Structure 1
Amino acid sequence: MKGYMIKYPGRKWLKHVALSGEEELRDYLPDTEPFTPKGFVSMIDRYPVLFVKPDLGMKGQGVMKIYYKDGRIVIRTEDGRFSFQSAKFAALKLKQLIGTKRYIMQQGIDLVQIDGNPIDFRILLHLRKDATWKYFGVMGKVAAPNKYVTNHSSGGRAIRLHHALGITTQECEPWEKKLKEMALKIARGMKKHFPLISELGLDIAIDNEHRVWLLEANTRPQFQLFRHHSNPRLYAQIASSVKHIRADD
């Protein structure tokens, strides 16, 4: 497949299609489709929870959560809730909320939680001069109470991996190894399809059965989360690397 000559590919659907073409990555990808009312009716029949997201969007803005409650379908937005008797009526409401913008639908993942607040994770990688990827590490993000997105702008806070999983730092070492191996596979897959990229922030989910999922691959990622990493020098190293990588932009 010919690569996309885009330095900062933003469209979630484009990246999903590229990675789903890689056999070793498919098991990491939640079921994802472009939003259509007909497609939504079919998808909400397959999954108890869906997330409907802007195809182009950042910081969790515009993300909607759709789920079943008391036999009805609930659409939850950043500032409201809507409840419907049928998927067809819910689909029409979603179409109204979305308008002419492009959105995707993604299978909801039953995330690990702390005190009922969902957690996801950010892994950071930069391309070295020798064209190999440097793995900087992983940090968790806990959603604020009664929120379903974990972004800092929505009240989310940083958490270290072992705290998120409720294990010791020593017990966490196999997890660190597993996530690093996964991240490097994804980075190589992304580089194959988007040859101009040089940095990645992978948004990762771990579900209650400890299966790992890729929610999104960001190609110009925020990295402030790593201020809270256990290595006090890591943030400065990342900031220096970012400055060098983006100097030519």
Structure 2
Amino acid sequence: MKGNLLKYPGRKWSKHESLWNEEGLRPHLPVTELFTPQSFKKMIEQHPVVFLKPDLGMRGQGIVKVSRVKEGECTIQTASKTYKRRGASSAARRLKKLIGGKRYIVQQGIDLIRIKGRPVDFRILLHKTNGKWKFFGIMGKVAAKNRFVTNYARGGKAIRLQEALSKAFGNEKLGDVNWDERLKSLSLQLAEALQKYYPNVTELGLDVAIDADQRIWLLEANTRPQYQLFRHHANRGLYARIASSVRSVRAAKQQR
């Protein structure tokens, strides 16, 4: 398994498998399986919403949302179309046609926090330099109107962590939790765990969700992440430091 992970560092399924080996991190991982009609039917029976994602893919491309809207009926949403199917078997056949020969995962849908009805998740950025992971910061992404993906490349808008949490929960519900530290601590645990399987990875963009119960979930670990979101960070000098660090870690990798 380790050799495969090193060979295909971009595969969502392999990264999920590696993290699932870490028992302490499992509470933060959505239930995930490789897509087959059988695995889809099992998942949609257990979860009201599931997402299908290309095993190799980025920037929200090719993601499909499936909702069990009522007994015996599923709604399938792509970026441009919506299909209604009666029964999980019929939905599975439609999905198989949509996916074709590509390898997909099927993942438990998380009840993301929302602002004015739009889902919000967060990007955490880390780089490994001089043998240690450095945490750069967190930025939120609010989905564009009528979209279910938050990706910046898909029209998502940047939002700062505290602003997002305050709007989603209200300050009273947030209490005195230090969310920056909570997310930083988890992100460093995730980075160290991934390092066991991907020793050459020096960049991580962790997409995390916070649900209505204030539980943190890892949605995806990106090993060559975009960082344009951080132009909007409260620390005005942070984006330039990130860009400089990216140049350094990528140059060092080329010299290996």
Q: TM class by shorter-chain length?
A: over 0.9
Compared CA separation, residues 5 and 60, structure 1 to 2 (3 A): closer
Aligned to 2:250: 246
Deviation readout 1:91-144 (Å, 9 max, x if unpaired): 000001101100000000000010000000000000021x11100010000001
For 1:132, the equivalent position in structure 2 comes to 132
Q: How does 1:19-30 map to 2 (within 5 A)?
A: 19-30=19-30
Query: In structure 2, what is the Cα distance between the partners aligned to 1:14 and 1:27?
Result: 18
Confirm whether residue 147 of structure 1 aligns to residue 147 of structure 2: yes
Q: How many residues align?
A: 247
Structure 2 distance, partners of 1:68, 1:25, is 28
The match for 1:59 is 59
Structure 2 partner of 1:108: 109
Q: Is the 8 A contact 1:30 1:107 kept in 2?
A: yes
Please give the alpha-carbon distance, in whole angstroms, between the structure 2 residues aligned to 1:19 and 1:27: 11
Partner of 1:35: 35
Which residue of structure 2 lines up, in the alignment, with residue 203 of structure 1? 207
**Cα deviations by residue, 1:176-232 (Å, 9 ceiling, x for unpaired):** 010000000000001011111011000000001100000011000000100000000
For 1:151 and 1:165, how far apart are their aligned partners in 2?
18
Q: How does 1:179-194 map to 2 (within 5 A)?
A: 179-194=183-198
Structure 1 segments of 4+ aligned residues over 4 angstroms from their partners:
1-5, 170-173
**Alpha-carbon separation, structure 1, partners of 2:207 and 2:200:** 20
Task: State the partner residue of 1:120.
Answer: 121
* 1:4 and 1:195 in contact (8 A); partners too: no
The Cα of 1:23 is off from its aligned counterpart by 1.2
* 1:87 alignment counterpart: 88
Report how far residue 174 of structure 1 moved: 0.7
Q: Which residue of 2 aligns with 1:9?
A: 9
Inter-partner Cα distance in structure 1 for 2:8 and 2:249: 12
Higher relative contact order at CA 8 Å, sep ≥6: structure 1 or structure 2? 1
Kindly indicate whether the alpha-carbon contact (under 8 Å) linking 1:65 and 1:77 is maintained by their aligned counterparts in 2: yes
SS of the equivalent of 2:148 reads coil
Please say if 1:216 is aligned against 2:192: no
Comparing 5-14 with 32-41, greater Cα deviation is found at 5-14
Q: For residue 152 of structure 2, what is the amino acid of its counterpart? A: H
Identity among equivalent pairs (%): 55
Q: Which amino acid aligns with 2:55?
A: D
Change (3 A) 1:163 1:43: same
SS in 2 for 1:16: helix
> Any unmatched runs of 5+ in structure 2?
none
Q: Which has the higher helix share?
A: 2
Q: Is the 8 A contact 1:8 1:197 kept in 2?
A: no
CA distance in 1, matches of 2:231, 2:140: 12
TM-score by length of 2: 0.92
Question: CA–CA distance in 2 between the matches of 1:145 and 1:186?
Answer: 31
Letter paired with 1:179:
L
The answer to whether the Cα contact below 8 Å between 1:5 and 1:195 also exists between their aligned partners in 2 is no
Length-normalised TM-score, structure 1: 0.95
Let me know the Cα RMSD of the aligned residues.
1.7
What is the identity, as a one-letter code, of the residue corresponding to 1:231?
Answer: N
What letter matches 2:179 in structure 1? W
Equivalent residue of 1:111, what SS?
A: coil
Q: What amino acid is aligned across from residue 58 of structure 1 in structure 2?
A: M
Change (3 A) 1:176 1:48: same
Q: Which runs of 5+ in 1 are unaligned?
A: none
Residues 4, 193 of structure 1: 8 Å contact kept: no
Counterpart residue number, 1:44 = 44
* 1:52, distance to aligned residue in structure 2 (A): 0.4
